[in-house]
Each structure stands twice: as C-alpha cells, then as structure tokens.
Structure 1
Amino acid sequence: MEPKRSFSSVDALKFGLDRTTKNFGQIWLVLVVYFVVFVGINLLTAFINGRSQNFLLILSVNLATFIPALWLSLGIIKVFLKVVDNQPVTLPDLFSQTDKIFNYILANIAYFLVVVFGFILLFIPGLILSYKYILFPYFIVDRGMGPLEALKASGKATSGVKLKLFGFTILIGLVAMAGMLALLVGLVFATPVCAIAFTYVYRTLSADAA
C-alpha cells in the first residue's frame, strides 16, 4: 500500500516567506537576469514577427526563441530547489540545465497531448490530468528523469492530493495578485515566496515517488 501523501498550504507559504527573507538578494539577482533575458527573447521575437512576411522565418525564430525560454525555466526550478534545500544560489545555476532541455521538450509535448485529450473528453478530466502531471519538470531537474519517467513520478506524487494542489495553486495565485495590487512592490516579495512554496510542496510530495 502506498503511503498517504499530504502537505500543508500554510506551512508551505510560511516556508516560502522564511526562505525568501533569508535569501532575498541571491534570489533576486537570479530573477533579474532571468527577466532581462526572457524579455529580450520576447522583444526579439516580436521585432522579427512584426517586420517579416516570411512564414518559415517567423516559425523558425519562434521555435529558436521558445527553446531558450524552456531552458531558463529549468534553471529557475534548479534555483528554487537549491533554496528549499538550503544550498547557496549562484547565477550560473540559472544556466546549468542544458543537458535536460531535450527531455523537458519531449515531456512538455507529452503533457500537452495528455491534458488536451482530457479536455476534449470533458473539462474535469483535463483538469485532473493537468494536476496529476504538474510536477514533472521538477523530477526532470531534480532527479534527471526522462520524459515518461518524470510524468509517471508526478502521477505517483500527486496521488490523492490533486484537489488540494488545485486549491493551493489558487491560493498562491491570490498571493501573487495581492502583490500586484500593492503597487507591484509586493510582487517583488510575493513572486519568490510563491515559487519557493510550490517547490516545498514538490519536496514534500516527492519523497518516495520515484
């Protein structure tokens, strides 16, 4: 019999707040670089899309910029995993996941197809499947898993807690929204708090999910 999995949303947010307070400078150094690079990629894409009539060029540019965006998202996951594990964060961590990008692309394709199929059947199955496999990027970064292995591990980790995960994502969404309403100043704090809290939930649920 599999162990019963659970987590505390309150504990996760408290943990996120504590780690953000203790690592604020390190975290935001990485996040600023991430946002600058990410915005630069999007501006380049928009510039070429707006000036070119060549469909193949536009498609190629969008694909070429999509891959670095995925690569950076893996780096962000690595950064927050290190924060949760109480390890020092450095800027190179953001660019450290090159070897996992291919598996991440394949896993994203598989995730997209599975979730879309669920939504075609009905809204609820699609929502359930989206939360069943929501943790797959963390397994790829944290344990170096392949696409199917990561999806399977996520399915195991989220067993019995998908509804609670749904509620938790709404909660951290409200926290982020409150940060935006506070003249965006609160968002500077809310962004890492929410990201660390979600990573903490991954750590809690994934202990024996491999």
Structure 2
Amino acid sequence: MTKKELPLATEGVTRLFGKSYRMVSDNLTLFIIIYSVSALFALWSFLNWFTNDKVTWMDEKFDLGNWFAGFSGLNVSTPAGVGLGLALLLAVAAVVFGLLQVILTFRLAGDRKTELGDVWQDLTKKGFKLFLLEMVMGVLTIIGFILLIVPGVILLWRLFLAPYILLDKGVGVEESLRRSWNMTRGFAWPIYSVMLFGLLLGLSGIVPYLGPIVSFVLAVAYSCVPALRYFEIKKLSS
C-alpha cells in the first residue's frame, strides 16, 4: 500500500457505523442465518414483556443479567418455560453462533470472500482457539474489575483486537493477547469510542416492549465496526 492510500487517522465511529450497515445490508442472508440464535433470544426478551415476569429498570428484581439482556439483545438467563436440556442446547448454540458472528464480521471487514462455507471453514479451523481466547479475555477482564476498576477498563482496551489478530494471523491465544497489547498502544480513544457508542446503542434495550428488538437490530447493524477498527489500526501500525 502506498503512503497516499494509508489513512492518517482512524475514522469516526459514526462513519464506521455507516460502513457496517452497508456490509450487513449487502450480506443480509448471511446475517439472518448467523444471527438467528441471537434473534431468538431477542424475541424471547420481547415476549417476556407480555408475561407476569417482566422486569424493568425500576423494579427491585432488576439485576445485571437482565440489564445485559436488554442492551445486548441476548437473554443471558434461561427463558421461562424452557427445560434444562433445551436451555443447555441453546447455550451451546449461542456460543457456536457467537463465534460465527465474529468470523463473519472479520471476513467482511477485511474484504475477504465471505460465504457461509467460508465462515464455517474458519470455525472448524480456528473456532476452538477463538473460544479459548474469548474465555481468557473474559476472565482477565473480570479479575481486573474485581481488583480495581481501572485495570479492568485498561484490559478492555488493550485486549480488544486479540480475536481479530487470532483470525488474521492464525497465532495462538497467548500470542494474540501479546500482539493486541502492543498493537493497541496509542489507540485508546479509537477503541473506547467503539465500545461506548455500541453501549449507547444498546441502551435502547431498556425501552419497554420493543426495546429488545430495536437493540438487537442496532447491534447487528453495528456488528462490523470492531473489525473495521481492527483493520484501520493494523494499517496505521504497519
């Protein structure tokens, strides 16, 4: 890539949002398939408003799990009326399809050939390592927040690119974390802005009735933004 083609700075998050929306629109069938499990959980959250078990942010029963379900579009608790066996099956499906979502958005953001077979092939080759990486990132971040808030916030920034490095370079979990730590240095705001804007969109999930559906649709439209940011930072770091 010539110097003229190399961006001098990262783009604003709203511009990346527009790019992500167009990517989703151009590949709508793929997103419908790969986000089907997430859509099911969003639908459950929506239907929950028509039961006696609905919980709002003003209720004493409101907890972090319900709040997360609202802004993410994913219900992290077992839906009412679902047996343990089906709940476990749905949990496994959510993990598998969640990994597929990361792979899908990565391939699209990297302007790679992206068909269902390509995404599935990446899952069979790198899915287990990606799952382990996500688990390690989650544990490290939780520990950071438990010890002190600041370390957790820093880890959110410095480990942000690790999944995309693993998919892009084919390296292991430890190496992905190390490279992310080095690669994100100096890019705090470009990364935090992606997370904060996504959180802002997700707050629509607390709106009664249609909130879970709206937050899910916005989350899908926004889904390619983190991967787009990765490729921006990768170019700037080279």
Indicate whether 1:77 and 2:113 are aligned: no
Q: Residue 10 of structure 1 aligns with which residue?
A: 14
Q: Write the distance in 2 (CA, Å) between the matches of 1:148 and 1:67.
A: 24
Q: Give the superposition deviation at 1:67.
A: 6.0
Q: Give the superposition deviation at 1:147.
A: 0.3
Which ranges of structure 2 fall in alignment gaps of 5 or more residues? 1-7, 42-73
Indicate whether 1:30 and 2:34 are aligned: yes
TM-score, normalised with respect to structure 1? 0.70
Which piece of structure 1 moves more, 87-96 or 155-164?
A: 87-96
TM-score, normalised with respect to structure 2? 0.63
1:45-85 deviation per Cα after TM superposition (whole angstroms, max 9, x unaligned): x62379xxxxxxxxxx96x9766644432221121122223
Q: Residue 210 of structure 2 aligns with which residue?
A: 183
CA contact (8 A) 2:37 2:97 kept: no
**Higher RCO (CA 8 Å, separation ≥ 6 residues):** 2
Identity %: 18
Indicate whether 1:47 and 2:83 are aligned: yes
Instruction: Rate the CA distance shift 1:10–1:190 in 2: closer, same or farther, 3 A.
Output: same
CA contact (8 A) 1:179 1:186 kept: yes
- Aligned-residue Cα RMSD (Å) equals 3.7
Q: Residue 90 of structure 1 aligns with which residue?
A: 115
Q: Write the distance in 1 (CA, Å) between the matches of 2:97 and 2:26.
A: 23
Q: Give the superposition deviation at 1:209.
A: 5.7
SS class of match (1:206) = helix
Q: Write the distance in 1 (CA, Å) between the matches of 2:84 and 2:144.
A: 35
What amino acid is the match of 1:183? L
Q: As a proportion of its length, which structure holds more helix?
A: 1
CA contact (8 A) 1:132 1:158 kept: yes
CA contact (8 A) 2:37 2:93 kept: no
Q: Residue 106 of structure 1 aligns with which residue?
A: 132
Which ranges of structure 1 fall in alignment gaps of 5 or more residues? 51-60
